[in-house]
Amino acid sequence: MLGGRFTFPGTSLIVQRMGYGAMQLAGPGVFGPPKDPNGAVALLREAVSAGVNHIDTADFYGPHVTNQIIRKALHPYPAALVIVSKLGAVRPPDGSWQPAGSPKDLTAGVHDNLRNLGLDALDIVNYRAMGAIHGAAEGSIAEQVNVLADLKRQGLIRHIGLSNVTTTQVAEAQAITDIVCVQNNYNLANRGDDALIDDLARQGIAYVPFFPLGGFTPLQSSSLSSAADRLGAKPMQVALAWLLHRSPNILLIPGTSSIAHLRENLAAAQLSLSPETLGKLYGIGAAAGSVTH
Ligand SMILES: NC(=O)c1ccc[n+]([C@@H]2O[C@H](COP(=O)([O-])OP(=O)(O)OC[C@H]3O[C@@H](n4cnc5c(N)ncnc54)[C@H](OP(=O)(O)O)[C@@H]3O)[C@@H](O)[C@H]2O)c1
């Protein structure tokens, strides 16, 4: 019902491919509390009741707010729930996004997550490189990955992932420790990671696109709208269904603060796309000039 199951490599963590990204639960600009905290709690509970068992978060969403809402809504957590967090940024009082990649920052970030989520250990933590805001930039991440590997040895992190990284950085991290997932900016119109996705699929590593619906700039395309009309679906649903068709290692974490949108997004996992529709949808990335080979 939710896109089938995926096992993170070398782990006992099994998730439905359709998950939920919690960033939209904080206030405007991912800063401060939401207008409707009870609605945020209700949304999380509905997601989990519907079978979602993969929730993406960060303690710098809010900051702290999103994790505190997750704890309020879902703690004590169901055994099958996998909460994935990330380290590498902080939000000072001016609301900006600042890198926080020193050993001290990363260690403090793990403890912030543990405290606000009410956990003794985090299932998966992504090191979120801050090379560029919405895209990866080259540069060594070895120091940060070594810190996460050490936190794993201490038992505070069970498994390690990466976010906003290049193919070179993935290889650099894999020489240090096992990587179970990569979370980068990717969607129908932004296909710069095509080759990386295929490479990770061969290794059984999850690829988790952030901004699957376009993020702060929602996807808009006449091909997407026509495909949705033909299927009697919404364009955002088709965008999610395309990602599920794109590769079996893609896991979805669409973000929403709306229960109606949550329901639409979960229902997208049941859409079947014909080869003809898929062909037209693949053309969107090519038209946007974002396809790699
Ligand atoms: N690693 C990173 O650097 C990074 C960066 C960004 C995000 N993330 C993670 O990735 C998750 C997904 O990214 P995202 O939330 O930024 O972007 P997204 O999922 O691409 O899009 C979210 C936006 O789409 C809207 N939306 C959601 N479902 C919809 C629907 N069915 N119909 C119409 N509009 C819909 C939401 O508004 P409503 O609230 O009104 O539904 C929101 O404005 C985040 O929640 C976060 O966990 C990670």
Q: Which of 84, 91, 162, 213 to mutate to test the pocket of ligand 1 (most atoms within 8 A of CB)?
A: 213
Q: Calculate how far, in angstroms, residue 238's C-alpha sits from the geometric centre of ligand 1.
A: 15
Residue numbers annotated as active site: 61
* Distance from the first to the final alpha carbon of the chain: 32
Angle among Cα 52, 165, 58 to the nearest 5 degrees reads 40
Ligand 1 neighbours, Cβ below 6 Å, are 21-24, 56, 86, 128, 163-164, 183, 210-215, 218, 236, 253-258, 261, 264-265
pLDDT (tens place) for every residue of the chain, 293 residues total: 899 999 999 999 999 999 999 999 999 999 999 999 999 999 999 999 999 999 999 999 999 999 999 999 999 999 999 999 999 999 999 999 999 999 999 999 999 999 999 999 999 999 999 877 668 999 999 999 999 999 999 999 999 999 999 999 999 999 999 999 999 999 999 999 999 999 999 999 999 999 999 998 999 999 999 999 999 999 999 999 999 999 999 999 999 999 999 999 999 999 999 999 999 999 999 888 888 76
DSSP secondary structure letters along 77-138: PPTT-EEEEEESEE--TT---EE--SHHHHHHHHHHHHHHHT-SSEEEEEEE--SSSSS---
Ligand 1 nearest atom to the CA of residue 211, by list position:
20
CA pseudo-torsion sign 211, 251, 284, 195: positive
Give phi and psi for 103, each to the nearest 5: -55, -40
Ligand 1 nearest atom to the CA of residue 268, by list position:
31
Q: Calculate how far, in angstroms, residue 158's C-alpha sits from the geometric centre of ligand 1.
A: 26
Q: Calculate how far, in angstroms, residue 257's C-alpha sits from the geometric centre of ligand 1.
A: 9
Residue minimizing CA distance to atom 16 of ligand 1: 215
Ligand 1 nearest atom to the CA of residue 58, by list position:
47
Residue minimizing CA distance to atom 7 of ligand 1: 210
User: What's the whole-model pTM score?
Assistant: 0.98
Q: Calculate how far, in angstroms, residue 128's C-alpha sits from the geometric centre of ligand 1.
A: 17
Q: Which amino acid is at 158?
A: R
- In angstroms, what is the C-alpha Rg of the chain? 18
